[in-house]
Structure 1
Amino acid sequence: MVQHSINNIEFDSNNDLDELISILPARVQDYMNNHIDKDNLVEVILDLGKPPEVRFPNSQETIGEGEVNHVDLQSLISRVSEFGDDNRAGIERTLHRISVIRNRKGTPVGITCRVGRAIEGTIQNIEDLVMSGESVLLLGKPGVGKTTMLREVARVLSEAANKRVVIVDTSNEIAGDGDVPHSAIGKSRRMQVPSTALQHQVMIEAVENHMPEVIIIDEMSTESESLAARTIAERGVQLIATAHANNLENVLTNPTLSDLVGGTQTVTLGDIEAKRRKTQKTILERKHDPTFPIVVEIVDRNTVSVHKDVGKRVDEILRGKKINGEMRWIEKGELKVKEPQNNFNEKVNTSMISLYPFGISKGSLESLIKDSGASIKVTDSESSAKIFLTTKSHYARKPKALENAQNLGIPVHVLRKNTKDQIKKFLEKYSAGTQKIRSSSAFENNSAVNIALEELHYGIKQLFDGEYRVELNAQNSFIRRLQHKAAAKEGVSSISIGEGPNRRVVLEKVW
């Protein structure tokens, strides 16, 4: 994967760096104040018994002027705010994060000083997504810039979009330490969280008490927070949040986070459905609509991979398909976009089947074909069609178009009604490149047999959809015999009822 340089973006950075340097041990202050790359400092590491270490984006350096001792650590701790239950603290009115490592007795033995920055322009590659009103989940490894992007999202939505934004700030990392939030969040309001275990409660409180249009949350990590986020989204509030995961697949397989993208549940299929799908009988399916319809994977500080229709993406992952996101990056101040190129594990049939609809809403049909991914194209010429699709009422009238199709040997498919639900069920048999008309090869040019067998297969599907008894149209003894054999092959019970020309096959559910 190509990672594009962040140097092509012009940022307005306000990082209060001198405030952080001023609390460090004197020898570290002197080292940093004279360092040529001071403005690019990422973090300072102070571990008991080791020399101080400073880290930059592409390097790390050791300050060889004595080891860190308890006095160094306690001196620094005395200059920052009180540490919370997550062992994090800060410097008032700044964005820097101070994290402590303790021994088993609770004594500090190490400190990480992470530089916090407010950088304007960091969401240029996703600004259209956050402005759309849809909830967005940001993913990425630690240190890639998720919190920095959240901070800029808060500013843009509260100032440029003039929306009511509330930040649920668990560790005071988004809006800085102290009671007065940092100016980097614009007009956004900040709710502090007394304990990390209470973040989900503060999320719900924000919605119930403060009427936000947008809620921003950093580092969602528990099942309670996932459920709270789902509740908030169902109330029509836009969510912008981050989670520690590299990609969409990681979130889906994480038991505590999978609810954010729809969750999974185990489903047992019937024999016929499993055979149709060419899968095992026990499969995983998406449980519900995703809380976040858009997921952004942060590749680096300049490049992101975007998944827009997360529900559909999750369905593809669960079917064993490999997905790729829409790549976005900034080059010379302009947004560049590369559309996703999905490589499926299974071979996809790219040939399109021509379908002639008679008495079917063409607009709805074309829309549903697009949504289902079926390799079908609608044609206006019945003579060039491979499928003739009509409804039961039109079929009963025996129109001229139907007669022409039967004379040409074109398979006729009959829907019970002209509804989206009926059309969807029909398209299910042709999605994912499996457009094979079910008919015996010995009778592939016999339209009467084709119609009878298609009616049988549709009847079987109705049984699996919940019907207990399905009556087929009257047929001659030869066709009825074919229908009985086909039903038995599918494991369905069938009987013949009626007399003379009205004798017909009835399918019954026996399971």
Structure 2
Amino acid sequence: MNKLLQQIVDDLDKFLAIFPSDIKSRLEQDPDIKDLIEVVLDLGREIEARFYKKTVVFEGRFTTEEDLNYIIARVGEFSGDKRAGIERTLHRISAIENRHGRIIGLTCRVGRAVLGTVDIIRDVIETGKNILLLGRPGVGKTTLLRETARVLADELGKRVIIIDTSNEIGGDGDIPHPAIGRARRMQVPNPAKQHDVMIEAVENHMPEVIVIDEIGTELEAKAARTIAERGVQLIGTAHGITLQNLLLNPTLSDLVGGIQVVTLSDEEAKRRGTQKTVLERKAPPTFQVVIEIQERDRLAIHHDVAKTVDALLRGYIIKPEIRLRTPEGEVKKVEAPTIEPSEEEEEVSVFGKPEREKRTEPLKIFPYGISRNRLEKAIRNLGVPAFVVKNLSEASCLLILKAHQKRAKDLLKEAEKKGIKIAVLRSNTVTQIERFLSEEFGISVGTSKSDAEEEALREAQEGIEYVLTHDEPYELSPQPAYIRRLQHQLIQQYGLYSESVGVEPFRKVRIYPSH
């Protein structure tokens, strides 16, 4: 891809002008003023200036009511979402109110138009497909959305309308910021009316493209589907970090097709080799492409959302395409390499245990702390004669999660007394359950390197989903060094952190939340 030239427009002088003279002076004197992100003022507390790589506290300079009133008088009117702006700029002023509606805090955020950033996805937006941008706050979703609107309107000649709920895309005031080019902007009187304005734009103004920031409610998701069904290209952002994360959100999952429980006929269930009740995608995705903004210069692109969602519901992983911008300005597509072990690393698969004599009688499992759905899925995947029972008295095996052993002492004693087999799992994942079942029934789960990689990556995906959902660390099973490297690469794609812990041959990957 060609080298990209970026131009940053921040109107920093207009931003600094809203502050009292002493605050403005201290900000101007900072050598990193060009990297200023926001200034935070809370009544009775020291002022903070937050930059990309540091936070500066104005020691001894406490926020007063006069400071707040000075700033409020120099910005636009606050809307229903407690946000205001500075006319014809992209800066955003957000208010904190007390119980009586009086403003006692302000977050003054610098808005920047970065011209040239869209080159990293230009080929995608030119396809005419509906595109959804995801990413954590502050990672650059709105900046990329604004530049996309400008390029579509000015360079590709499209009729573009921006639904600008908080005036973040087109700036404050009746005349939009030049950064949106010839794109038209419709303001929203109240955030609760955003879905109505979306439909109004299509019905009244004949757009070819609708650009919308922060789709966050079920009504907005329905409006987006209505727009897509009318043949208008839709480009927007939504609350979420990854596609998997969005799929688990019941309010917004419809954007990527949604999930429904389907009861199959006996013949179809037999053909698929599954139980009669399965999860399937409910409808065609509103957005055919999902772009996860992992960092400002690193994106993960799902080019076929329908195919990716279908795979996820069947327990498989389809890796997104990774694109990054180098320090030199080059945009590159990065393929995850297959890493071979070094000469010092052992290549023996952890799944290479000798087969045991196969079990012939059915295994009746009573799960404790183990997901019933995952257990049933593992049984289906392996096709073994195992069944889940509701009472310990019916069971031939008690399957318990290690973390629950202490609180289940009475249950364990009862199982021992009745001669019921006790099996303990370290983690509540399909991979761990399948490993237990395969050993119990003497089934080889793959001694080849490719089988080992596939199973380890599937476990890593389950761990990623757990961390994203619960915001807690998660440990995977012990793996050889070359497989741990593949797991680290997969985890990095989702913006999470990981490290290898323990001592060989029991060394394993631990996944941490992104913060």
- For residue 171 of structure 1, give the secondary structure of its aligned residue in structure 2: coil
- For residue 133 of structure 1, give the secondary structure of its aligned residue in structure 2: coil
- For residue 106 of structure 1, give the secondary structure of its aligned residue in structure 2: coil
Structure 1 counterpart of 2:196, one-letter code: Q
Q: Could you tell me which residue of structure 2 aligns to residue 214 of structure 1?
A: 209
> In structure 2, how many angstroms separate the alpha carbons of the residues matched to 1:223 and 1:211?
24
Q: Could you tell me which residue of structure 2 aligns to residue 333 of structure 1?
A: 329
Q: Could you tell me which residue of structure 2 aligns to residue 180 of structure 1?
A: 175
Contact 2:4 2:331 in 1 (8 A): no
Contact 2:257 2:285 in 1 (8 A): yes
Contact 1:122 1:301 in 2 (8 A): no
> In structure 1, how many angstroms separate the alpha carbons of the residues matched to 2:59 and 2:150?
41
Q: Which residue of the other structure, out of 315, 325, 337, is the alignment partner of 2:310? A: 315
Structure 1 counterpart of 2:230, one-letter code: R
Q: Which residue of the other structure, out of 228, 241, 261, is the alignment partner of 1:246? A: 241
Q: Which residue of the other structure, out of 124, 131, 137, is the alignment partner of 1:136? A: 131
> In structure 2, how many angstroms separate the alpha carbons of the residues matched to 1:66 and 1:34?
16
Q: Which residue of the other structure, out of 58, 69, 83, is the alignment partner of 2:78? A: 83
Q: Could you tell me which residue of structure 2 aligns to residue 122 of structure 1?
A: 117
TM-aligned CA deviation for residue 21 of structure 1: 0.9
Contact 2:266 2:276 in 1 (8 A): yes
- For residue 66 of structure 1, give the secondary structure of its aligned residue in structure 2: strand
> In structure 2, how many angstroms separate the alpha carbons of the residues matched to 1:230 and 1:257?
11
> In structure 2, how many angstroms separate the alpha carbons of the residues matched to 1:119 and 1:152?
7
Aligned length: 336
> In structure 2, how many angstroms separate the alpha carbons of the residues matched to 1:155 and 1:168?
14
Contact 2:132 2:289 in 1 (8 A): yes
> In structure 1, how many angstroms separate the alpha carbons of the residues matched to 2:308 and 2:213?
24
Q: Which runs of 5+ in 2 are unaligned?
A: 339-350, 352-515
TM-aligned CA deviation for residue 9 of structure 1: 6.0
State whether structure 2 residue 197 is matched by structure 1 residue 202. Answer: yes
State whether structure 2 residue 95 is matched by structure 1 residue 100. Answer: yes
Q: Which residue of the other structure, out of 47, 50, 55, is the alignment partner of 1:52? A: 47
> In structure 1, how many angstroms separate the alpha carbons of the residues matched to 2:318 and 2:44?
47
Structure 2 counterpart of 1:311, one-letter code: A
Q: Could you tell me which residue of structure 2 aligns to residue 265 of structure 1?
A: 260
Q: Could you tell me which residue of structure 2 aligns to residue 381 of structure 1?
A: none
Structure 2 counterpart of 1:24, one-letter code: F
> In structure 2, how many angstroms separate the alpha carbons of the residues matched to 1:323 and 1:57?
33
Structure 1 counterpart of 2:180, one-letter code: I
> In structure 2, how many angstroms separate the alpha carbons of the residues matched to 1:62 and 1:9?
36
CA RMSD of aligned residues (A): 1.7
Structure 1 counterpart of 2:21, one-letter code: A
TM alignment of 1:346-365, pairs within 5 A: none
- For residue 54 of structure 1, give the secondary structure of its aligned residue in structure 2: strand
TM-aligned CA deviation for residue 214 of structure 1: 0.5
- For each residue in 1:63-86, what CA deviation from the matched residue of structure 2 results, as whole angstroms up to 9, or x when unmatched? 113211111112111111111110
Q: Could you tell me which residue of structure 2 aligns to residue 299 of structure 1?
A: 294
- For residue 313 of structure 1, give the secondary structure of its aligned residue in structure 2: helix
Of residues 326-335 and 186-195 in structure 1, the stretch that sits farther from structure 2 once superposed is: 326-335
Contact 1:93 1:182 in 2 (8 A): yes
Contact 1:27 1:65 in 2 (8 A): no
Q: Could you tell me which residue of structure 2 aligns to residue 390 of structure 1?
A: none
State whether structure 2 residue 36 is matched by structure 1 residue 41. Answer: yes
Structure 2 counterpart of 1:37, one-letter code: D
Q: Which runs of 5+ in 1 are unaligned?
A: 1-7, 348-511
- For residue 64 of structure 1, give the secondary structure of its aligned residue in structure 2: strand
State whether structure 2 residue 6 is matched by structure 1 residue 16. Answer: no
Of residues 49-58 and 332-341 in structure 1, the stretch that sits farther from structure 2 once superposed is: 332-341
State whether structure 2 residue 233 is matched by structure 1 residue 233. Answer: no
> In structure 1, how many angstroms separate the alpha carbons of the residues matched to 2:61 and 2:48?
11
> In structure 1, how many angstroms separate the alpha carbons of the residues matched to 2:126 and 2:240?
24
Q: Could you tell me which residue of structure 2 aligns to residue 422 of structure 1?
A: none
Structure with higher Rg: it is 1
* TM-score normalised over the length of structure 1: 0.64
Structure 1 counterpart of 2:108, one-letter code: C
> In structure 2, how many angstroms separate the alpha carbons of the residues matched to 1:325 and 1:25?
48
Structure 1 counterpart of 2:78, one-letter code: F
Structure 1 counterpart of 2:199, one-letter code: I
- For residue 317 of structure 2, give the secondary structure of its aligned residue in structure 1: coil
TM-aligned CA deviation for residue 240 of structure 1: 0.6
> In structure 1, how many angstroms separate the alpha carbons of the residues matched to 2:275 and 2:118?
43
TM-aligned CA deviation for residue 324 of structure 1: 2.3
Q: Which residue of the other structure, out of 15, 18, 21, is the alignment partner of 1:26? A: 21
> In structure 2, how many angstroms separate the alpha carbons of the residues matched to 1:23 and 1:250?
39
Structure 1 counterpart of 2:6, one-letter code: F
Cα distance change on mapping 1:205 and 1:340 into 2, 3 Å: farther
* TM-score normalised over the length of structure 2: 0.63
Structure 2 counterpart of 1:313, one-letter code: T
TM-aligned CA deviation for residue 238 of structure 1: 0.4
Q: Could you tell me which residue of structure 2 aligns to residue 151 of structure 1?
A: 146
TM-aligned CA deviation for residue 269 of structure 1: 1.9
Cα distance change on mapping 1:321 and 1:258 into 2, 3 Å: same
> In structure 1, how many angstroms separate the alpha carbons of the residues matched to 2:238 and 2:198?
15
Structure 2 counterpart of 1:155, one-letter code: R
- For residue 306 of structure 1, give the secondary structure of its aligned residue in structure 2: strand
Fraction of identical pairs, as percent: 56
- For each residue in 1:154-199, what CA deviation from the matched residue of structure 2 results, as whole angstroms up to 9, or x when unmatched? 1101111011100010011100000000000000000011111111
- For each residue in 1:364-413, what CA deviation from the matched residue of structure 2 results, as whole angstroms up to 9, or x when unmatched? xxxxxxxxxxxxxxxxxxxxxxxxxxxxxxxxxxxxxxxxxxxxxxxxxx
Of residues 261-270 and 241-250 in structure 1, the stretch that sits farther from structure 2 once superposed is: 261-270
Cα distance change on mapping 1:89 and 1:264 into 2, 3 Å: same
Q: Could you tell me which residue of structure 2 aligns to residue 171 of structure 1?
A: 166
Q: Which residue of the other structure, out of 156, 175, 187, is the alignment partner of 1:192? A: 187
- For residue 105 of structure 1, give the secondary structure of its aligned residue in structure 2: coil
Q: Could you tell me which residue of structure 2 aligns to residue 406 of structure 1?
A: none
